[in-house]
Amino acid sequence: MEVTSAPYQDLPPALRREINAMLHLAYQCEGEPDPDETLHRPALEARAFWLAHNGRLAAYASAFGKTIIHQAAEFSLGSLGCVATRPEMRGRGLGERVVAAASDWLRACGRYDIAAFSCDAELLPFYRRAAEWEAADVVLIANKEENALRSDRLGKAVMLELLSERARAAEASFRGAAVNLDLPPGEFI
């Protein structure tokens, strides 16, 4: 079983529907999955990573990005998201493998100055084992609205890596900082 990867926009509609349905199950969402919902806005230029087992989608992760402004400087930020394994396939290392593949791509693709995402603190050992992610002293804030989603209020740990020379040169400005992601309402990473 190899991790397959492709731009999300190129995936056939049937696979997109299967991804939606699996994520719906994995995240225990209420109601029925929306078969037509686009998981990743085209502007995020998402790349999909998945494992199939016996012709069924078993595990999924995506990498995507956007531009942020941090302390008056523009950076390209790449993120991991929608990490999930079909409930009955968990505990076999599949989640780790899709995260490893998506992380390798995120770090090596050359598109991003920064890699960042948030997760429940209890999942830190999972991300550390999968791809050596470590928690950073940073707060992610969805946007500048008063009630914007933010990692500290959500109780999330933040993973942040400075990838480019330019980002590493600005390392001090990220230490202990609040990073505004400038996301639309309701979105978070």
Ligand X SMILES: CC(C)(COP(=O)(O)OP(=O)(O)OC[C@H]1O[C@@H](n2cnc3c(N)ncnc32)[C@H](O)[C@@H]1OP(=O)(O)O)[C@@H](O)C(=O)NCCC(=O)NCCS
What is the contact surface with ligand X in residues (CB under 6 A)?
A: 26-27, 59, 83-85, 90-96, 119, 122-123, 125-126
Calculate Rg over the CA atoms of the chain: 16
Cα–Cα distance, 96 to 127 (Å, whole number):
7
Q: Which is nearer to ligand X, 31 or 91 (CB)?
A: 91
Q: Which is nearer to ligand X, 96 or 182 (CB)?
A: 96
Q: In the bound complex, what is the minimum distance in angstroms from residue 141's beta carbon to ligand X?
A: 18
Is-contact 151 116, C-beta < 8 A?
Answer: no
Residue nearest to ligand X (CB): 95
Q: Which is nearer to ligand X, 85 or 180 (CB)?
A: 85
Q: In the bound complex, what is the minimum distance in angstroms from residue 187's beta carbon to ligand X?
A: 15
Q: How far is CA 184 from each of CA 69, 142, 144, 151, 175, rounded to the nearest angstrom? A: 15, 8, 10, 16, 25
Q: In the bound complex, what is the minimum distance in angstroms from residue 130's beta carbon to ligand X?
A: 7
Contacts of residue 140, defined as CB under 8 A and 6 or more positions apart, other chains included, come to: 116, 118, 150, 151, 156, 158, 178, 179, 181, 188, 189
Q: In the bound complex, what is the minimum distance in angstroms from residue 166's beta carbon to ligand X?
A: 28
Q: Which is nearer to ligand X, 124 or 173 (CB)?
A: 124
